[in-house]
Structure 1
């Protein structure tokens, strides 16, 4: 059963790793150039909104973290799911890091979504025009990246649940936070 959970966790981590990389690359490589006046050109890139810059950095960092955790799953599956030594400490670290990466990714996704919504709708009080009226392809690609980011955050929440299950299997259900076998 332990090997099955590790394989499921590894599969989800591989899928979320690919989604995170896809999200970061979609945002990072997105740009569109428009001619404003006769020879004046304006290029829209992810650098125009700091929330998108932070979003790209967070997505790449989360992808690196999930790559490390995927390698942990592969190593444990290769030894037959048998965990030696004090695995409880590693399970706590994995659980807490999974929580932290999920929440930071969710926060960056929320900030990028809010900035993109502001670019799509504009703000009349500040006399900001709608950016997506001029740069439609840019906005559609950012929207697709935000959707991929949302999927990755949902899958990271499932991975965090698996991490919690793995951690709390070491503890007795009768006594709060008392290790089994003691």
Structure 2
């Protein structure tokens, strides 16, 4: 039951992150005639973040459905679930970190490459992306807790009868 609530919370955070990034855009009029629109497609790391968070949310939903339809787990299925939980947690963290690195360049600029500070012109866009990244890192923390609970469930299968049990039955 604990992992169900955590998976639902992680799924909602992942969907919120993907939606905040994907639907964020801001249009500015530059030089009285040029219209420029900032969106997540301008930075490849943000595009990848949308896809990774969407896939991770789908994985969590599928895992919830699997656990409701087939509550019994054997050792092979437990190993597979543990490794997938680890992979998804690390993938979500990597995608959020890559997006954060790209956003730091948008905030501070990089004069050596001739990149201007994007967030000076598109402040609402940058604030919304910052909120999305905070939701993404919260999802990373929840996925890490889910992964540790998955490890506990796996290694409990290898323990003696009463060794790794929290409650006596």
TM-score over 0.5 for the alignment?
yes
TM-score by length of 2: 0.91
Residue matched to 1:126: 113
Of the three residues 116, 120, 141, the one matched with 2:103 is 116
For residues 38 and 143 of structure 1, the distance between their equivalents in structure 2, rounded to whole angstroms, comes to 29
For residues 120 and 101 of structure 2, the distance between their equivalents in structure 1, rounded to whole angstroms, comes to 17
* Deviation (angstroms), 1:73: 2.9
Residue matched to 1:65: 59
1:11-160 aligned at under 5 Å gives the runs: 11-75=5-69, 83=72, 87-160=74-147
Q: Could you list the runs of 5+ residues in structure 2 that have no partner in the other structure?
A: 161-169
Q: Could you list the runs of 5+ residues in structure 1 that have no partner in the other structure?
A: 1-6, 174-182
For residues 111 and 100 of structure 2, the distance between their equivalents in structure 1, rounded to whole angstroms, comes to 19
Deviations 1:6-42 (A, max 9, x none): x000000001001000000000000000000112100
For residues 91 and 167 of structure 1, the distance between their equivalents in structure 2, rounded to whole angstroms, comes to 6
* Native 8 Å contact 1:21 1:60 kept in 2: yes
How many residues align structurally?
160
Secondary structure of 1:41's aligned partner: strand
Secondary structure of 2:151's aligned partner: helix
TM-score by length of 1: 0.85
For residues 156 and 106 of structure 1, the distance between their equivalents in structure 2, rounded to whole angstroms, comes to 9
Superposition CA RMSD, Å:
1.2
